[in-house]
Amino acid sequence: MRFERSHTRKAVALAVVSSLVLFTAACGGGDDGSKGNTGSAGGALEGRGPIKFATGKDTSGNLTSQVAAWNSQHPDEKVEITELPESADQQRNQLISNAQIKSTEFSVLNLDVVWTAEFAANRWVTQLPEDQFPDLGKLLPSTVATGKYRDKLYAVPVTSDGGLLYYRKDLLDKAGLKPPTTWPEMIAACAKVKALPEGKAINCYAGQFEKYEGLTVNFSEAVNSAGGVVVGDDGKPNVDTPEALAGLTALAEGFKTGFIPKAAITYTEEPGRRAFQDGNLLFHRNWPYVYALANKTDGSSKIAGKFGVAPLPGLNGPGVSTLGGHNYAISEFTPNKATAADFIKFMSSEERQKANVEKTSQAPTWASLYDDAALNKQFPYLAPLKASIGSAKSRPQVVKYGDVTTAIQDAAYNTLKPNGTDPKTALKDLQTKLSSLITQ
Amino acid sequence: MSESASAVEPTPGKNVRRTSFNEGTGRLAALLLSPTLIVLLLVIGYPIISALRESLYTSGGIGDDGFVIEGTRFVGLDNFAAIFSGETGDRFWNAFYNTTFFTVTCVVLETLLGVLMAMVMHKAFKGRAIVRASILIPWAIPTVVSALLWKWMFQADGIANAVLGTQILWSTEGWQSVLSVIVADTWKTAPFIGLLVLAGLQTIPDEVYEAAKVDGASPWKTFTRITLPLVKPALLVAVLFRILDTLRIFDLPYVLVGPNKESVETLSILAFLEANQTRYGPAAAYATLLFVYIVVVAYVFVRLLGADVIGDARASKPKKNGKSKDNQLPPGTAAATASGSLAAGGGGL
């Protein structure tokens, strides 16, 4: 028995060792093929044929009809939609995995506005010659800026997004007030509404303050609305300023004085929307999608028809929204770049954008659509939204965006949470961190 | 197939001196084992070695032209050194502490509750099937789903606050977020221990209990002197699995509380966050450290308590020699178990 056992063990050990050697040899040799240079000249977009369009889960339900319109006109260059998960993080991961193996699977990529720099710097998307996209001038300039990396165009904006101030029109009317345009006005308005018998239990204001991307958006809005910047026009971070301090302090004071309810530190878009819909909030900062949901008369919203929208208030003047939205880019590795470019032009055209906004209420990037009388009647928030997007600032356009947004969230969250740090120290630390992360 | 051939062939040559009987049996054993070994190597060995290799490389960096520098560079142990230095070091040790704290607290609670559940499930009474099924439901729910369920309950206006009559913000930094993770983890995995202990309980013959009754032993004495010792092998395996599992806890803190929250950040989360930023080298380094930690814990656990993980050691030797060397598990077993669980966890990432 003893012999047999050691014998077997030896055989096992040998099998293990020799196979390990084989495996290491195999994996050692596998990775070196990626050294070849695939620099993109950004010139010719060539190649035609059927392509695949990678996009996040289409919650609007209208994308198929948009693509069908293209397919009926281009039978030889059909576009197939590949739906990625709903979560932005997972979309990004999947697009990156595909790019890292230089897959030709996807041709047109639907990118969140904050991914442009990362995808461009990694040469995962092709540089687009601006002269081939003559309609760029008719899009809102702030949205076009999100498609650029180092002044070169990599993506074309198709949908946009901007923050809006939702307010309880019924309560403001009762108190004889107009929607506030500044932060102090908003505080005063809330005090007046709270003096009314109907407004006794209502909370004043909430945005998105949970530690996630929404906090970066809300922090940037507070800083920008107070006249500060997170990253300046020269591409350098500049948050250790009196303006940025005033912006962050306003939020921190809001939490301290109860102007912002304590629970708002856990709010993402949805819990905030629910609080507003349940009639627990007088003012609420959120995206345009809330409008349709809060107006539903099926009982899910207690405030249908009782609210209005206005541009975000600033500290002492009009507020500055943070820009959201999606841009379409062409994968560096697709053989059919000409088709992809045509498809992007098609999707960003006035006709398609109009068709899309009519069906989905997604904010268009085509400037003149915001002045369309029929659309304005259908979506009364278009006018404030145009003001919001028109003056909106994009988040830092940096390659290491993930690290930058984490640093911002750390600073903002640690200040706003109960017994948080002093805003001045937080901004000073943030400046140091951002400076080491953004070295362009 | 070529691997299996090259792996097996050298053995007979080396053992020419052995008798033909043993040689034949050995070769047959090796042949029969080799498909399994190759599968194990593919799904366990290769990922581990690949991760180890990855942890020695780095990529990225932005050139003057604004483009990311292509390819990977060998950096030796720099990725590991970076983990232990400065702010990253503080973060690592915090995550290490959280991981350990979750493991100890959760496993202790789960063991106590699990044994209790097993005792209840083992009793014969009306409606036993319903009780058994309902106890097992949490275990059947995927962790991410249960994390979302608990997140919903722990919302500011959720049922937890309503029932407790409190206004606790569970997902904020501090003891409350730690507690919420512990509650959710215990709820989900105590049934696992319960299930394994129940299996152990069912192997205990009734005669032993009858004898105890005749001798007039109290219920507590019966439990500590009969039930516990006899159920110990099953219990230890269950606890070992839970320890290995909890050391790589990820879904619950990540989904229930959220990423970048100091109070509940664990080693798996750190590895995930690095990988998410396409820094695969540092991510692999974190994963490797976690792997080593799990191996060490598993090894110590097996050596100290002699958990009978694979069961063959007991079968081949009489129980009397319980403490002899042959009855101990070979060190490889612990590593294999740990790596198995890590590989399973890796799949989730």
Could you read off the pLDDT of A347-379 as tens digits, one per residue? 999 999 999 988 887 899 999 999 999 999 989
Same domain, B44 and B157: no
Same domain, B39 and B103: no
Chain B residues touching A18 at Cβ < 8 A: 3, 6-7, 10
- Do the domains A51-161+323-390 and A164-322+400-437 sit in the same CATH topology, yes or no? yes
The token duo for A372 is 């369309």
Q: Could you give the CA distance from residue A373 to residue A379 in angstroms, rounded to a whole number?
A: 10
* Residue A89: per-residue pLDDT: 86
pLDDT digits (tens, 9 = 90+) for B279-290: 999 999 999 999
Q: How many residues are present in chain A? A: 440
What ipTM score was computed for the predicted complex, to two decimals?
A: 0.82
Q: Could you give the CA distance from residue B269 to residue B273 in angstroms, rounded to a whole number?
A: 6
3 state DSSP class of A393: strand
CB contact under 8 A, B37 and A10: no
Strand A79-84 vs strand A51-56: parallel, antiparallel, or unpaired? parallel
Q: Judge whether residue B14 has pLDDT over 80.
A: no
Cα-based angle A179, A182, A183 (whole degrees, multiple of 5): 105
Mean pLDDT of chain B: 83
* Residue A7: per-residue pLDDT: 52
A314: CB partners within 8 A, 6+ apart: A181, A182, A183, A225, A226, A227, A320
Say which DSSP state A313 is in: B
Q: Judge whether residue A48 has pLDDT over 50.
A: yes
Interface mutation vs chain B, best among A127, A149, A211, A269, most B CBs within 10 Å: A211
Q: Could you give the CA distance from residue A63 to residue B145 in angstroms, rounded to a whole number?
A: 29
Q: Judge whether residue A25 has pLDDT over 50.
A: no
Same domain, B20 and B108: no
Q: Could you give the CA distance from residue B136 to residue B120 in angstroms, rounded to a whole number?
A: 13
Q: Judge whether residue A21 has pLDDT over 80.
A: no
- Does residue B66 fall inside a structural domain? no
For A14, which of B11, B23, B25 is closest by C-beta distance? B11
Chain A residues touching B29 at Cβ < 8 A: 4, 8, 11
Shortest distance between the Cα of A364 and any Cα of chain B, in A, equals 30
A210 touches chain B (CB under 8 A): yes
Say which DSSP state A43 is in: -
Residue in chain B lying closest to A100 (CA): B278
- With tokens 């040998």, the residue in question is A14
Could you tell me if A357 and A143 are in contact, meaning their C-beta atoms sit under 8 angstroms apart? no
CATH code for the domain defined by A51-161+323-390: 3.40.190.10
Q: Could you give the CA distance from residue A60 to residue A46 in angstroms, rounded to a whole number?
A: 32
* Residue A57: per-residue pLDDT: 85
Chain A residues touching B10 at Cβ < 8 A: 14, 18
Chain B residues touching A266 at Cβ < 8 A: 155-156, 169-172
Q: Judge whether residue B18 has pLDDT over 80.
A: no
CB contact under 8 A, A11 and B8: yes
Q: Judge whether residue A225 has pLDDT over 90.
A: yes
CB contact under 8 A, A212 and B25: no
> Of the candidates A278, A304, A275, which has an alpha carbon nearest to the alpha carbon of residue A291?
A304
Tell me the backbone φ, ψ of residue B172, rounded to 5 degrees.
Answer: -85, 165
Same domain, B38 and B126: no
Tell me the backbone φ, ψ of residue A232, rounded to 5 degrees.
Answer: -75, 175
Residue A268 exposed, middle or buried by CB count within 10 Å (0-12, 13-18, 19+): middle
Reported confidence tier of residue A13, pLDDT bands at 50, 70, 90? low
Chain B residues touching A24 at Cβ < 8 A: 49, 53
CB contact under 8 A, A15 and B53: no
Chain A residues touching B53 at Cβ < 8 A: 24, 27-28
Q: Could you give the CA distance from residue B95 to residue A38 in angstroms, rounded to a whole number?
A: 39
Q: Could you give the CA distance from residue A81 to residue A86 in angstroms, rounded to a whole number?
A: 14
Same domain, B18 and B147: no
* Residue A86: per-residue pLDDT: 83
The token duo for A98 is 């595909």
A174 touches chain B (CB under 8 A): no
CB contact under 8 A, A12 and B37: yes
Cα-based angle B60, B61, B65 (whole degrees, multiple of 5): 120
> Of the candidates A433, A428, A363, A364, which has an alpha carbon nearest to the alpha carbon of residue A398?
A433
Say which DSSP state B58 is in: E
Same domain, B7 and B132: no
The CATH number assigned to the domain holding B245 equals 1.10.3720.10
Q: What separation in angstroms does the CA of A161 have from each of A206, A324, A327, A359, A434?
A: 19, 4, 11, 16, 25
Say which DSSP state B64 is in: T
Domain count, chain B: 2
Find the helix or strand (DSSP H, E) in which A281 lies.
strand A281-286
Q: Could you give the CA distance from residue A393 to residue A319 in angstroms, rounded to a whole number?
A: 11
Cα-based angle A238, A243, A244 (whole degrees, multiple of 5): 55
Chain A, window 107-126: residues with a beta carbon less than 8 angstroms from a chain B beta carbon: 121-123
Interface mutation vs chain B, best among A2, A5, A18, A19, most B CBs within 10 Å: A19
* Residue B125: per-residue pLDDT: 81
Q: Which residue has the higher pLDDT, B342 or B17?
A: B17
Shortest distance between the Cα of B236 and any Cα of chain A, in A, equals 27
Q: What share of chain B is helix, strand, coil (3-state, %, to 5)?
A: 75, 0, 25
pLDDT digits (tens, 9 = 90+) for A180-210: 999 999 999 999 999 999 899 999 999 999 9
Tell me the DSSP string of B297-318: HHHHHHHHH---SSSHHHHHS-
Chain A, window 39-68: residues with a beta carbon less than 8 angstroms from a chain B beta carbon: 39
* Residue A412: per-residue pLDDT: 96
Tell me the backbone φ, ψ of residue A168, rounded to 5 degrees.
Answer: -85, 100
Same domain, B7 and B97: no
Q: Could you give the CA distance from residue B340 to residue B43 in angstroms, rounded to a whole number?
A: 9
> Of the candidates A72, A430, A381, A380, which has an alpha carbon nearest to the alpha carbon of residue A223?
A430
Could you tell me if A11 and B27 are in contact, meaning their C-beta atoms sit under 8 angstroms apart? yes
Interface mutation vs chain A, best among B39, B272, B278, most A CBs within 10 Å: B278
Chain A residues touching B45 at Cβ < 8 A: 16, 19-20, 23
Shortest distance between the Cα of A21 and any Cα of chain B, in A, equals 10
CB contact under 8 A, A10 and B276: no
Chain B residues touching A34 at Cβ < 8 A: 70-71
Same domain, B306 and B225: yes
Could you tell me if A108 and A329 are in contact, meaning their C-beta atoms sit under 8 angstroms apart? yes
Q: A8-17, A336-345, A359-368, B21-30: which range is least confident on average?
A: A8-17
CB contact under 8 A, B50 and A27: yes
CB contact under 8 A, A4 and B22: yes
CB contact under 8 A, A18 and B70: no
Could you tell me if A383 and A311 are in contact, meaning their C-beta atoms sit under 8 angstroms apart? no
The 10 Å Cβ neighbour count of residue A328 is 25
A55 forms beta bridges with: A83
> Of the candidates A86, A417, A426, A81, which has an alpha carbon nearest to the alpha carbon of residue A245?
A426
Reported confidence tier of residue A20, pLDDT bands at 50, 70, 90? very low
* Residue B239: per-residue pLDDT: 94
Residue type for A102, please? K
Same domain, B204 and B331: yes
Beta-carbon-side half-sphere exposure of residue A116 (alpha carbons within 13 Å)? 29
The token duo for A68 is 């069908």
Reported confidence tier of residue A306, pLDDT bands at 50, 70, 90? very high
pLDDT digits (tens, 9 = 90+) for A260-279: 999 999 999 999 999 999 99
A125 forms beta bridges with: A331
Q: Give me the domain span that covers residue B10.
A: 2-49
CB contact under 8 A, A11 and B11: yes
Q: What share of chain A is helix, strand, coil (3-state, %, to 5)?
A: 50, 15, 35
Q: What is the 3-state secondary structure (H, E, C) of A418-438?
A: CCCCCHHHHHHHHHHHHHHHC
Interface mutation vs chain B, best among A1, A2, A4, A38, most B CBs within 10 Å: A4
CB contact under 8 A, B260 and A211: yes
* Residue A440: per-residue pLDDT: 52
The token duo for B257 is 């509380």
Chain A, window 248-277: residues with a beta carbon less than 8 angstroms from a chain B beta carbon: 262-263, 265-266, 271, 274-275
pLDDT digits (tens, 9 = 90+) for B238-271: 999 999 999 999 999 999 999 999 999 999 999 9
Q: Could you give the CA distance from residue A75 to residue A71 in angstroms, rounded to a whole number?
A: 6
CB contact under 8 A, A12 and B33: yes
Q: Which long-range contacts (CB under 8 A, 24 or more apart) does A243-246 make?
A: A244/A427, A245/A423, A245/A424, A245/A427, A246/A315
Chain A residues touching B7 at Cβ < 8 A: 14-16, 18-19
* Residue B126: per-residue pLDDT: 84
- Does residue B136 fall inside a structural domain? yes
B308: CB partners within 8 A, 6+ apart: B233, B236, B237, B314, B329
Reported confidence tier of residue A1, pLDDT bands at 50, 70, 90? very low
Say which DSSP state A230 is in: S
The domain segmentation of chain A, as residue ranges, is 51-161+323-390, 164-322+400-437
Alpha-carbon radius of gyration of chain A: 25
Chain A, window 358-417: residues with a beta carbon less than 8 angstroms from a chain B beta carbon: 399-400, 402-403, 406, 409-410, 417
CATH fold for the domain made of A164-322+400-437: D-Maltodextrin-Binding Protein; domain 2 (3.40.190)
Shortest distance between the Cα of A102 and any Cα of chain B, in A, equals 13
Could you tell me if A58 and A30 are in contact, meaning their C-beta atoms sit under 8 angstroms apart? no
Same domain, B39 and B105: no
Q: Which residue has the higher pLDDT, A151 or B315?
A: A151
* Residue B60: per-residue pLDDT: 81
Q: What separation in angstroms does the CA of A115 have from each of A325, B19, B206?
A: 11, 68, 66
The token duo for B109 is 């609670």
CB contact under 8 A, B155 and A271: yes
